[in-house]
Structure 1
Amino acid sequence: MFWEKKLAQWVEDIKTKANLPARLVLWDGQQHDFGQFAAPQVTLHVKSATALPYLALR
């Protein structure tokens, strides 16, 4: 799907620029890490695809 590619690129951009100790967990169980870490300090849970625009994916 289109949004999956856009989301993966967005996460990769954040990981490269900021290396945050945070994880994004999607409604379907997919996990995306925003940096390199042993355990995330913050976990964001997205409960449905309709919430993705609130992340301001650009």
Structure 2
Amino acid sequence: MGKQISNPEQQVSYLKDRLQMFLEVLDTIEPETTELEDIDRLIQMMDDLELKVEQFKNTKE
């Protein structure tokens, strides 16, 4: 696993990068050929992003 990010600027940068990655994946999906596994992966990516947001919020408290 990677090093913990405690600097708020680095946390924001990390979240922006992850969100950009999610948007890029979303842009490449073709609705006509999307399978359930693709949707599951998108949901997992959002869950992971939400978890990171919660972790970063807790480091400030």
TM-score by length of 1: 0.34
Instruction: Flag the structure with higher strand content.
Output: 1
Instruction: Flag the structure with higher helix content.
Output: 2
TM-score by length of 2: 0.32
Higher relative contact order (CA 8 A, sep 6+): 2
Rg comparison, structure with higher value: 2
